[in-house]
A and B are shown apart, each in its own frame.
Chain A
Amino acid sequence: MSRESWWLDYVEGELDPATRAEMKALLRHSKADREVVEALSSTKELLKEHEPPATEPADDLFFDALHDKIMAAVEETVVKPAPRAATQRLKKNKRLLISSGGVAAFAMLLLSVCFLSTSSQQTGLSSTNQILQAALQSPDESLRVLGVQSQNDFFVDVAGTSFDDLNIMQLQGLLKTKTRVR
Protein backbone atom coordinates (compact mmCIF):
# COMPACT_ATOMS: atom_id res chain seq x y z
CA MET A 1 0.00 0.00 0.00
CA SER A 2 1.18 3.50 -0.73
CA ARG A 3 1.57 6.02 2.03
CA GLU A 4 -1.51 7.91 0.87
CA SER A 5 -3.42 4.66 0.94
CA TRP A 6 -2.54 4.19 4.60
CA TRP A 7 -3.90 7.64 5.38
CA LEU A 8 -7.02 6.93 3.35
CA ASP A 9 -7.60 3.87 5.56
CA TYR A 10 -7.15 6.18 8.54
CA VAL A 11 -9.71 8.69 7.27
CA GLU A 12 -12.16 6.00 6.17
CA GLY A 13 -11.99 4.14 9.50
CA GLU A 14 -10.62 0.98 7.89
CA LEU A 15 -7.93 0.37 10.51
CA ASP A 16 -7.95 -1.64 13.69
CA PRO A 17 -7.97 0.54 16.83
CA ALA A 18 -4.33 -0.12 17.72
CA THR A 19 -2.96 0.87 14.30
CA ARG A 20 -5.25 3.86 14.21
CA ALA A 21 -3.98 5.05 17.58
CA GLU A 22 -0.37 4.70 16.40
CA MET A 23 -1.09 6.64 13.24
CA LYS A 24 -2.88 9.32 15.20
CA ALA A 25 0.26 9.72 17.29
CA LEU A 26 2.36 10.02 14.13
CA LEU A 27 0.10 12.75 12.82
CA ARG A 28 1.00 15.03 15.70
CA HIS A 29 4.57 15.17 14.43
CA SER A 30 4.10 15.30 10.68
CA LYS A 31 2.75 18.40 9.05
CA ALA A 32 2.88 16.85 5.58
CA ASP A 33 0.78 13.88 6.64
CA ARG A 34 -1.65 16.11 8.50
CA GLU A 35 -2.17 17.94 5.24
CA VAL A 36 -2.88 14.66 3.39
CA VAL A 37 -5.41 13.63 6.04
CA GLU A 38 -7.00 17.06 5.99
CA ALA A 39 -7.22 17.00 2.18
CA LEU A 40 -8.89 13.59 2.09
CA SER A 41 -11.34 14.20 4.92
CA SER A 42 -12.32 17.74 3.97
CA THR A 43 -12.98 16.77 0.34
CA LYS A 44 -15.20 13.91 1.47
CA GLU A 45 -17.02 16.17 3.91
CA LEU A 46 -17.59 18.76 1.19
CA LEU A 47 -19.04 16.11 -1.12
CA LYS A 48 -21.34 14.79 1.58
CA GLU A 49 -22.41 18.24 2.63
CA HIS A 50 -23.30 19.25 -0.91
CA GLU A 51 -24.76 15.97 -2.05
CA PRO A 52 -27.14 16.49 -4.96
CA PRO A 53 -30.69 16.17 -3.64
CA ALA A 54 -32.67 13.08 -4.41
CA THR A 55 -34.56 13.47 -7.65
CA GLU A 56 -36.05 10.02 -7.71
CA PRO A 57 -39.73 9.72 -6.76
CA ALA A 58 -40.35 9.05 -3.11
CA ASP A 59 -44.02 8.08 -3.18
CA ASP A 60 -45.13 4.53 -2.56
CA LEU A 61 -47.42 4.51 -5.58
CA PHE A 62 -44.47 4.91 -7.92
CA PHE A 63 -42.59 2.03 -6.31
CA ASP A 64 -45.68 -0.17 -6.18
CA ALA A 65 -46.11 0.36 -9.91
CA LEU A 66 -42.42 -0.29 -10.57
CA HIS A 67 -42.55 -3.45 -8.48
CA ASP A 68 -45.60 -4.69 -10.40
CA LYS A 69 -43.94 -4.00 -13.76
CA ILE A 70 -40.83 -5.91 -12.71
CA MET A 71 -42.83 -8.86 -11.37
CA ALA A 72 -44.96 -8.97 -14.54
CA ALA A 73 -41.74 -9.23 -16.57
CA VAL A 74 -40.36 -11.83 -14.18
CA GLU A 75 -43.48 -13.96 -14.73
CA GLU A 76 -42.50 -14.24 -18.37
CA THR A 77 -38.82 -14.79 -17.73
CA VAL A 78 -37.13 -18.15 -17.39
CA VAL A 79 -34.18 -18.68 -15.07
CA LYS A 80 -31.25 -19.70 -17.23
CA PRO A 81 -29.47 -22.81 -16.01
CA ALA A 82 -26.04 -22.28 -14.52
CA PRO A 83 -23.34 -23.09 -17.05
CA ARG A 84 -22.28 -26.21 -15.13
CA ALA A 85 -21.37 -28.28 -18.16
CA ALA A 86 -18.93 -25.63 -19.25
CA THR A 87 -17.44 -25.41 -15.77
CA GLN A 88 -17.02 -29.17 -15.50
CA ARG A 89 -15.48 -29.33 -18.95
CA LEU A 90 -13.08 -26.61 -17.94
CA LYS A 91 -12.13 -28.44 -14.75
CA LYS A 92 -11.64 -31.71 -16.64
CA ASN A 93 -9.42 -30.02 -19.21
CA LYS A 94 -7.51 -28.31 -16.43
CA ARG A 95 -6.90 -31.62 -14.63
CA LEU A 96 -5.70 -33.23 -17.85
CA LEU A 97 -3.43 -30.31 -18.57
CA ILE A 98 -1.97 -30.37 -15.08
CA SER A 99 -1.30 -34.12 -15.04
CA SER A 100 0.26 -34.28 -18.50
CA GLY A 101 2.18 -31.08 -18.06
CA GLY A 102 3.34 -31.86 -14.54
CA VAL A 103 6.24 -34.09 -15.52
CA ALA A 104 7.36 -31.76 -18.28
CA ALA A 105 7.13 -28.71 -16.00
CA PHE A 106 9.23 -30.38 -13.30
CA ALA A 107 11.89 -31.29 -15.84
CA MET A 108 11.91 -27.71 -17.17
CA LEU A 109 12.22 -26.35 -13.63
CA LEU A 110 15.26 -28.53 -12.93
CA LEU A 111 16.92 -27.45 -16.17
CA SER A 112 16.19 -23.77 -15.44
CA VAL A 113 17.68 -23.94 -11.95
CA CYS A 114 20.84 -25.56 -13.32
CA PHE A 115 21.11 -22.95 -16.06
CA LEU A 116 20.56 -19.98 -13.76
CA SER A 117 23.05 -21.24 -11.24
CA THR A 118 25.70 -21.68 -13.94
CA SER A 119 25.08 -18.34 -15.65
CA SER A 120 25.11 -16.47 -12.35
CA GLN A 121 28.51 -17.94 -11.53
CA GLN A 122 29.80 -17.06 -14.99
CA THR A 123 28.69 -13.44 -15.00
CA GLY A 124 29.48 -12.91 -11.32
CA LEU A 125 26.38 -10.76 -10.83
CA SER A 126 25.22 -10.36 -7.28
CA SER A 127 21.47 -10.24 -6.63
CA THR A 128 21.76 -6.54 -5.78
CA ASN A 129 23.33 -5.82 -9.15
CA GLN A 130 20.63 -7.80 -10.87
CA ILE A 131 17.96 -5.78 -9.09
CA LEU A 132 19.70 -2.54 -10.05
CA GLN A 133 19.93 -3.63 -13.67
CA ALA A 134 16.26 -4.57 -13.70
CA ALA A 135 15.39 -1.20 -12.17
CA LEU A 136 17.35 0.65 -14.85
CA GLN A 137 15.68 -1.35 -17.59
CA SER A 138 12.20 -0.80 -16.26
CA PRO A 139 12.04 2.28 -14.01
CA ASP A 140 8.23 2.52 -14.04
CA GLU A 141 7.76 -0.99 -12.73
CA SER A 142 10.41 -0.41 -10.06
CA LEU A 143 8.68 2.76 -8.91
CA ARG A 144 5.41 0.87 -8.70
CA VAL A 145 6.99 -1.83 -6.59
CA LEU A 146 8.76 0.72 -4.40
CA GLY A 147 5.44 2.50 -3.90
CA VAL A 148 4.05 -0.55 -2.14
CA GLN A 149 4.52 -0.34 1.59
CA SER A 150 3.91 -2.75 4.36
CA GLN A 151 2.66 -1.43 7.68
CA ASN A 152 6.20 -1.44 9.10
CA ASP A 153 7.58 0.31 6.00
CA PHE A 154 4.92 2.93 6.43
CA PHE A 155 5.89 3.75 10.01
CA VAL A 156 9.59 3.84 9.19
CA ASP A 157 8.91 6.03 6.18
CA VAL A 158 6.85 8.51 8.15
CA ALA A 159 9.40 8.53 10.93
CA GLY A 160 12.26 9.04 8.50
CA THR A 161 10.84 11.83 6.39
CA SER A 162 8.07 13.68 8.09
CA PHE A 163 8.90 14.27 11.72
CA ASP A 164 9.41 17.92 11.15
CA ASP A 165 8.59 18.86 14.73
CA LEU A 166 10.97 16.38 16.35
CA ASN A 167 14.64 16.66 17.15
CA ILE A 168 16.92 13.70 16.50
CA MET A 169 16.86 12.47 20.12
CA GLN A 170 13.04 12.36 20.21
CA LEU A 171 13.01 10.61 16.85
CA GLN A 172 15.44 7.93 18.03
CA GLY A 173 13.36 7.38 21.14
CA LEU A 174 10.22 6.92 19.10
CA LEU A 175 11.88 4.49 16.72
CA LYS A 176 13.19 2.45 19.66
CA THR A 177 9.68 2.26 21.06
CA LYS A 178 8.33 1.14 17.71
CA THR A 179 11.05 -1.52 17.43
CA ARG A 180 10.23 -2.83 20.90
CA VAL A 181 6.56 -3.03 19.97
CA ARG A 182 7.44 -5.08 16.90
Chain B
Amino acid sequence: MAEIVVTPKGLNEMSDLEVVNLVRGGDRKAFSILVKRHQKGLLRLSVRFMKDVDAAEDIVQEAFIKAYERLASFEARASFKSWLYQIAINTAKNKLRDRFENMADIDNVHLAVPARAETDLLHGAIATLLQQHIDQLPFRQRTALVLRVYEDLSFKEIAEIMECPYDTAKANYRHALMRLREELQSHQDLKQWTEEVGGFFMEMQKTAEVDA
Protein backbone atom coordinates (compact mmCIF):
# COMPACT_ATOMS: atom_id res chain seq x y z
CA MET B 1 0.00 0.00 0.00
CA ALA B 2 1.41 3.35 -1.03
CA GLU B 3 2.35 5.59 1.83
CA ILE B 4 0.83 9.07 1.80
CA VAL B 5 3.50 11.64 2.36
CA VAL B 6 2.31 14.90 3.83
CA THR B 7 4.78 17.65 3.14
CA PRO B 8 4.67 20.73 5.30
CA LYS B 9 3.32 23.79 3.55
CA GLY B 10 6.16 25.76 2.00
CA LEU B 11 6.71 29.33 3.12
CA ASN B 12 5.92 30.61 -0.34
CA GLU B 13 2.52 28.93 -0.34
CA MET B 14 1.53 30.38 3.01
CA SER B 15 -0.83 33.32 3.30
CA ASP B 16 0.49 36.57 4.73
CA LEU B 17 -1.29 35.89 7.99
CA GLU B 18 0.27 32.45 8.31
CA VAL B 19 3.71 33.95 7.74
CA VAL B 20 2.96 36.71 10.26
CA ASN B 21 2.08 34.04 12.83
CA LEU B 22 5.36 32.25 12.12
CA VAL B 23 7.31 35.46 12.70
CA ARG B 24 5.36 36.11 15.87
CA GLY B 25 6.31 32.63 16.96
CA GLY B 26 9.97 33.60 16.72
CA ASP B 27 10.87 32.77 13.12
CA ARG B 28 12.43 36.13 12.27
CA LYS B 29 13.71 34.90 8.89
CA ALA B 30 10.16 34.22 7.69
CA PHE B 31 9.65 37.99 7.56
CA SER B 32 11.81 37.86 4.42
CA ILE B 33 8.85 36.32 2.55
CA LEU B 34 6.67 39.30 3.44
CA VAL B 35 9.38 41.72 2.29
CA LYS B 36 9.77 39.88 -1.03
CA ARG B 37 6.02 39.81 -1.59
CA HIS B 38 5.31 43.46 -0.91
CA GLN B 39 8.45 45.51 -1.51
CA LYS B 40 7.76 46.19 -5.21
CA GLY B 41 4.18 47.36 -4.68
CA LEU B 42 5.19 49.42 -1.69
CA LEU B 43 8.01 51.10 -3.59
CA ARG B 44 5.70 51.90 -6.51
CA LEU B 45 3.20 53.47 -4.11
CA SER B 46 5.88 55.41 -2.25
CA VAL B 47 7.31 56.80 -5.48
CA ARG B 48 3.89 58.30 -6.19
CA PHE B 49 4.00 60.23 -2.94
CA MET B 50 7.68 61.19 -2.85
CA LYS B 51 9.70 63.03 -5.44
CA ASP B 52 12.47 60.49 -5.93
CA VAL B 53 13.27 56.83 -5.71
CA ASP B 54 15.78 57.28 -2.88
CA ALA B 55 13.17 58.88 -0.63
CA ALA B 56 10.68 56.20 -1.62
CA GLU B 57 13.22 53.49 -0.78
CA ASP B 58 13.61 55.01 2.68
CA ILE B 59 9.84 54.91 3.14
CA VAL B 60 9.75 51.23 2.17
CA GLN B 61 12.52 50.32 4.60
CA GLU B 62 10.98 52.32 7.41
CA ALA B 63 7.54 50.87 6.78
CA PHE B 64 8.81 47.28 6.92
CA ILE B 65 10.82 47.90 10.08
CA LYS B 66 7.87 49.62 11.78
CA ALA B 67 5.64 46.73 10.70
CA TYR B 68 8.08 44.19 12.17
CA GLU B 69 8.36 46.16 15.39
CA ARG B 70 4.58 46.36 15.78
CA LEU B 71 3.81 42.86 14.55
CA ALA B 72 2.48 41.85 17.96
CA SER B 73 -0.10 44.63 17.69
CA PHE B 74 -1.31 43.50 14.26
CA GLU B 75 -4.83 42.25 14.93
CA ALA B 76 -5.60 41.00 11.41
CA ARG B 77 -8.75 43.07 11.23
CA ALA B 78 -7.35 44.27 7.91
CA SER B 79 -5.05 42.32 5.62
CA PHE B 80 -1.31 42.52 6.26
CA LYS B 81 -0.92 44.34 2.93
CA SER B 82 -3.46 47.03 3.89
CA TRP B 83 -1.81 47.43 7.28
CA LEU B 84 1.62 47.75 5.66
CA TYR B 85 0.36 50.29 3.08
CA GLN B 86 -1.26 52.25 5.90
CA ILE B 87 2.10 52.44 7.71
CA ALA B 88 3.88 53.46 4.49
CA ILE B 89 1.37 56.20 3.64
CA ASN B 90 1.51 57.63 7.16
CA THR B 91 5.31 57.52 7.03
CA ALA B 92 5.30 59.26 3.62
CA LYS B 93 2.90 61.89 4.91
CA ASN B 94 5.11 62.61 7.91
CA LYS B 95 8.21 62.79 5.74
CA LEU B 96 6.50 65.19 3.36
CA ARG B 97 5.37 67.28 6.29
CA ASP B 98 8.93 67.41 7.64
CA ARG B 99 10.30 68.23 4.24
CA PHE B 100 7.83 71.01 3.63
CA GLU B 101 7.38 72.13 7.19
CA ASN B 102 7.51 75.76 6.13
CA MET B 103 4.62 75.26 3.79
CA ALA B 104 1.20 76.08 5.15
CA ASP B 105 -0.48 72.94 3.93
CA ILE B 106 0.70 69.44 3.12
CA ASP B 107 -1.84 69.44 0.31
CA ASN B 108 0.53 71.69 -1.60
CA VAL B 109 3.05 68.89 -1.79
CA HIS B 110 3.14 67.53 -5.30
CA LEU B 111 3.13 63.91 -6.25
CA ALA B 112 6.10 62.91 -8.31
CA VAL B 113 5.91 64.02 -11.94
CA PRO B 114 8.17 61.67 -13.77
CA ALA B 115 10.06 62.55 -16.89
CA ARG B 116 8.35 61.47 -20.08
CA ALA B 117 9.76 59.66 -23.02
CA GLU B 118 10.51 62.14 -25.74
CA THR B 119 8.67 60.12 -28.32
CA ASP B 120 5.47 60.30 -26.33
CA LEU B 121 4.98 64.04 -26.20
CA LEU B 122 1.23 64.15 -26.47
CA HIS B 123 0.73 61.46 -23.85
CA GLY B 124 3.22 63.28 -21.66
CA ALA B 125 1.46 66.61 -22.06
CA ILE B 126 -1.89 65.18 -20.98
CA ALA B 127 -0.31 63.25 -18.13
CA THR B 128 1.41 66.42 -16.92
CA LEU B 129 -1.86 68.33 -17.03
CA LEU B 130 -3.63 65.58 -15.10
CA GLN B 131 -0.78 65.41 -12.62
CA GLN B 132 -1.01 69.13 -11.98
CA HIS B 133 -4.68 68.76 -11.11
CA ILE B 134 -4.08 65.68 -8.96
CA ASP B 135 -1.48 67.73 -7.08
CA GLN B 136 -4.16 70.24 -6.14
CA LEU B 137 -6.32 67.62 -4.41
CA PRO B 138 -6.36 67.36 -0.61
CA PHE B 139 -4.09 64.58 0.68
CA ARG B 140 -6.89 62.18 1.60
CA GLN B 141 -8.68 62.59 -1.73
CA ARG B 142 -5.38 62.12 -3.54
CA THR B 143 -4.61 59.01 -1.51
CA ALA B 144 -8.00 57.47 -2.29
CA LEU B 145 -7.58 58.28 -5.98
CA VAL B 146 -4.06 56.85 -6.25
CA LEU B 147 -5.00 53.66 -4.40
CA ARG B 148 -8.10 53.10 -6.50
CA VAL B 149 -6.98 54.16 -9.98
CA TYR B 150 -3.32 53.20 -9.96
CA GLU B 151 -3.17 50.45 -7.35
CA ASP B 152 -6.56 48.89 -8.23
CA LEU B 153 -7.46 48.40 -4.57
CA SER B 154 -11.01 47.82 -3.39
CA PHE B 155 -12.79 50.47 -1.33
CA LYS B 156 -12.64 48.09 1.62
CA GLU B 157 -8.85 47.99 1.36
CA ILE B 158 -8.66 51.75 0.83
CA ALA B 159 -10.79 52.30 3.94
CA GLU B 160 -8.47 50.02 5.92
CA ILE B 161 -5.39 51.84 4.68
CA MET B 162 -6.86 55.28 5.28
CA GLU B 163 -8.28 54.19 8.64
CA CYS B 164 -11.71 55.51 7.85
CA PRO B 165 -15.20 54.07 7.21
CA TYR B 166 -15.91 52.44 3.85
CA ASP B 167 -18.27 55.24 2.79
CA THR B 168 -15.72 57.91 3.67
CA ALA B 169 -13.10 56.24 1.49
CA LYS B 170 -15.58 56.16 -1.36
CA ALA B 171 -16.61 59.77 -0.77
CA ASN B 172 -12.97 60.88 -0.86
CA TYR B 173 -12.48 59.06 -4.15
CA ARG B 174 -15.71 60.44 -5.61
CA HIS B 175 -14.86 64.00 -4.62
CA ALA B 176 -11.41 63.61 -6.17
CA LEU B 177 -12.88 62.30 -9.40
CA MET B 178 -15.57 64.99 -9.63
CA ARG B 179 -13.10 67.71 -8.78
CA LEU B 180 -10.73 66.51 -11.49
CA ARG B 181 -13.62 66.41 -13.91
CA GLU B 182 -14.51 70.01 -13.08
CA GLU B 183 -10.91 71.11 -13.46
CA LEU B 184 -10.61 69.38 -16.80
CA GLN B 185 -13.85 70.95 -17.96
CA SER B 186 -12.35 74.33 -17.25
CA HIS B 187 -10.15 73.58 -20.24
CA GLN B 188 -13.43 73.69 -22.18
CA ASP B 189 -12.74 70.61 -24.20
CA LEU B 190 -9.83 68.35 -23.29
CA LYS B 191 -9.97 66.65 -26.63
CA GLN B 192 -9.59 69.94 -28.44
CA TRP B 193 -6.86 70.93 -26.01
CA THR B 194 -4.93 67.72 -26.52
CA GLU B 195 -5.19 68.09 -30.26
CA GLU B 196 -3.83 71.60 -30.03
CA VAL B 197 -1.04 70.66 -27.65
CA GLY B 198 -0.30 67.50 -29.60
CA GLY B 199 -0.23 69.41 -32.85
CA PHE B 200 2.15 71.96 -31.35
CA PHE B 201 4.51 69.30 -30.05
CA MET B 202 4.39 67.28 -33.25
CA GLU B 203 5.16 70.42 -35.23
CA MET B 204 8.08 71.22 -32.91
CA GLN B 205 9.37 67.69 -33.35
CA LYS B 206 9.10 67.88 -37.15
CA THR B 207 10.93 71.22 -37.15
CA ALA B 208 13.65 69.72 -34.96
CA GLU B 209 13.98 66.74 -37.32
CA VAL B 210 14.22 69.03 -40.39
CA ASP B 211 16.82 71.19 -38.64
CA ALA B 212 18.81 68.13 -37.75
Separation of A53 and B174 alpha carbons in the complex (Å): 24
Contact across chains for A57 and B53 when beta carbons are under 8 A apart: yes
Determine how close the nearest CB of chain A comes to the CB of B161; give it in whole angstroms.
17
Q: Which residues of B contact A57 (CB under 8 A)?
A: 53
Contact across chains for A48 and B47 when beta carbons are under 8 A apart: no
Q: Which residues of B contact A77 (CB under 8 A)?
A: 65, 68-69
B91 close to A (CB within 8 Å):
no
Closest to A81 in B: B72
Contact (A47, B32) CB under 8 Å given A74-B68, A79-B68: no
Contact (A82, B73) CB under 8 Å given A53-B116, A55-B114, A70-B64: yes
CB under 8 Å from chain A, chain B span 79-122: 112-117
A71 close to B (CB within 8 Å):
yes
Listed A/B pairs (25) with beta-carbon separation below 8 Å: A8-B173, A8-B174, A9-B170, A12-B155, A43-B184, A46-B126, A46-B184, A46-B190, A47-B145, A47-B150, A50-B127, A50-B130, A52-B113, A52-B114, A53-B114, A53-B117, A56-B47, A69-B61, A70-B35, A70-B64, A73-B61, A74-B68, A75-B28, A82-B72, A83-B73
Separation of A173 and B179 alpha carbons in the complex (Å): 37
A142 close to B (CB within 8 Å):
no
CB under 8 Å from chain A, chain B span 172-188: 173-174, 177-178, 180-181, 184
Determine how close the nearest CB of chain B comes to the CB of A153; give it in whole angstroms.
15
Contact across chains for B112 and A4 when beta carbons are under 8 A apart: no
Contact (A71, B32) CB under 8 Å given A52-B131, A66-B61: yes
Contact across chains for A51 and B32 when beta carbons are under 8 A apart: no
Closest to B70 in A: A80
B interface SS class = helix
Range, interface on chain A: 35 or more
Determine how close the nearest CB of chain A comes to the CB of B135; give it in whole angstroms.
12
Separation of A83 and B70 alpha carbons in the complex (Å): 10
Of B72, B112, B131, chain A has the most CB atoms within 10 Å of the CB of B72
Type the 1/0 row for A54-97, where 1 means its CB is closer than 8 Å to any CB of B: 11110000010011011101110111111100000000000000
Determine how close the nearest CB of chain A comes to the CB of B150; give it in whole angstroms.
6
A172 close to B (CB within 8 Å):
no
Closest to B183 in A: A43
Closest to A57 in B: B53
Q: Which residues of A contact B44 (CB under 8 A)?
A: 54, 56
B43 close to A (CB within 8 Å):
yes
